[in-house]
Structure 1
Amino acid sequence: MSLKIDYDNQPRKFLKNQDKTTVKRIMDKIDTLSLNPIPHDAKRVLGYELPTFRIRIGKHRALYRVNYEEKKIIVVKIDKRDKVYD
């Protein structure tokens, strides 16, 4: 089962301001989530109303939610490690 990937506004803006190499690395990692939405290295992030997970992508982190009813993954936030949890 493959899930569709959607992006909130913040991840779109973040990716728009990054160099092509960084964008490709981040997009490649996020694309793998469509086949395996909660990989072994994903961690649950506390403090969010809905279940939210994070994956590491080098110095960056991506926060996302999985909606199995609508068969999609919503990327909530992408940022550098020290800023993503603000």
Structure 2
Amino acid sequence: MGQSLLEVGQALGLPLEGTCEGQMACSTCHVIVDAEWFDKLAEASEEEEDMLDFAAGVRRTSRLSCQIDLTQELDGLSVTVPAEAHDMRRM
């Protein structure tokens, strides 16, 4: 299994919180996946969908970055960290 978007993003210094350290017990690593990439991702689990109910600024293409396993097929993946997530990091 490869690394998650959360792990790689944090290693690169991107503004991904991940309070639960990728255990899917929070929604602080919420990202919005660009529409052209969304259908290329593995389907979200019911648990991830439930956790996204707690995320701010959820869109149709929202995912938890801890649940996106990066593969060669996802090379070039484009996501946006919601403005609400940036605001939470400043608290």
Note whether the superposition's TM-score is higher than 0.5: no
Could you say which TM-score interval applies, normalised by the shorter chain?
under 0.3
TM-score by length of 2: 0.27
Relative contact order higher in (CA < 8 Å, ≥ 6 apart): 2
- The structure whose residues are more often helix, as a share, is 2
TM-score by length of 1: 0.28
- The structure whose residues are more often strand, as a share, is 1
